[in-house]
Amino acid sequence: MTVRLVSQQGTESADPTFTREVLGAGVAHLERCYQCQACSSGCPVAYAFDYAPHQLLRMVQLGLKERVLDSTTYWLCASCETCATRCPNDIEIVQIMDTLRHIALREGRTQQTGLPLFHRTFLSTIKSNGKVHELLLILRYMLISRDIFKLNELPSNIKMGLNMFTRGKLAILPAKIKGMANIKRIFQQTEKKNG
Ligand code: SF4
Ligand code: SF4
């Protein structure tokens, strides 16, 4: 069943099935959100989102599927868990962001073209090294996205790389971590589960 909602953005379709799907993915207590905004005020990445976390959750509650899936918020979320630790209602916000990414990928909703690609590239560096290696991540992403061939962006990319390097944020070689076998197993099991 589709419900029509009237908002400042005009008339929108609300899809209760979408809300049920997100709730049904094991997301804890989304219905308890009372918009206190504690999550958004602590989010270190909220400045880059088009909707703050509390706004996105409200839209999920209302079933505004189109607007939610068109949002950049769930792709840019860094899964840092700051919001979840601040939430008075123990809402698993990171799990909601993950669920939205799964739904968007399944439905081919990747119009934020760079963001899903960056997300997959990020995961591939974790899979191969156990933790993120920024230089490898940037190079891989630029190659796959073909951004490396955008010559007009080259000077600013080099400047950013040098800035990160001089501040010690860009290691040349990836760090070795213990437990690579466990990381590989997690990926194997997840990939098997997701087909
Ligand atoms: S997990 Fe995502 S939404 Fe929550 S505080 Fe971190 S970046 Fe923001
Ligand atoms: S902190 Fe929790 S209850 Fe408050 S707006 Fe965020 S998700 Fe909702």
pTM to 2 decimal places: 0.74
CA distance 61 to 89: 15
CA distance 47 to 157: 21
- Taking the centre of ligand 1 as the mean of its atom positions, its distance from the CA of residue 61, in whole angstroms, is 18
> What residue's CA is closest to ligand 1, atom 4?
83
For ligand 2, whether the C-beta of 91 sits within 6 Å is yes
Query: Distance of CA 80 to CAs 16, 48, 131, 194, Å?
Result: 29, 15, 14, 23
CA distance 183 to 125: 11
Question: Per-residue pLDDT for the chain (195 aa), expressed as one digit of tens each?
Answer: 556 666 666 677 888 899 888 887 666 678 889 999 999 999 999 999 999 999 999 999 999 999 999 999 999 898 899 999 999 999 999 999 989 998 998 888 876 667 788 888 888 888 888 888 888 888 888 888 776 666 666 777 778 778 888 888 778 888 778 889 999 999 888 888 766
CA distance 74 to 100: 7
- Taking the centre of ligand 2 as the mean of its atom positions, its distance from the CA of residue 47, in whole angstroms, is 17
For ligand 2, whether the C-beta of 39 sits within 6 Å is yes
Nearest atom in ligand 1 to the alpha carbon of residue 42 is 5
- Give Cβ neighbours of residue 72 (< 8 Å, ≥ 6 apart): 48, 49, 50, 112, 115
For ligand 2, whether the C-beta of 41 sits within 6 Å is no
Considering every ligand atom shown, identify the ligand nearest to the alpha carbon of residue 29 and give its number.
Answer: 2
- Taking the centre of ligand 2 as the mean of its atom positions, its distance from the CA of residue 19, in whole angstroms, is 17
The pLDDT assigned to 4 comes to 65
Nearest atom in ligand 2 to the alpha carbon of residue 34 is 3
Considering every ligand atom shown, identify the ligand nearest to the alpha carbon of residue 57 and give its number.
Answer: 2
CA distance 8 to 160: 39
Structure tokens at 124: 């591939």
H runs (alpha helix) in 10-129: 16-24, 38-42, 53-62, 65-70, 73-76, 82-86, 93-106, 114-129
For ligand 1, whether the C-beta of 43 sits within 6 Å is yes
- Region of 7 (left: φ > 0; alpha: ψ -120 to 50; beta: rest) is beta
The pLDDT assigned to 88 comes to 94
CA distance 12 to 50: 18
* Domains of the chain (ranges, CATH numbers): 3-106 (1.10.1060.10), 114-193 (no CATH)
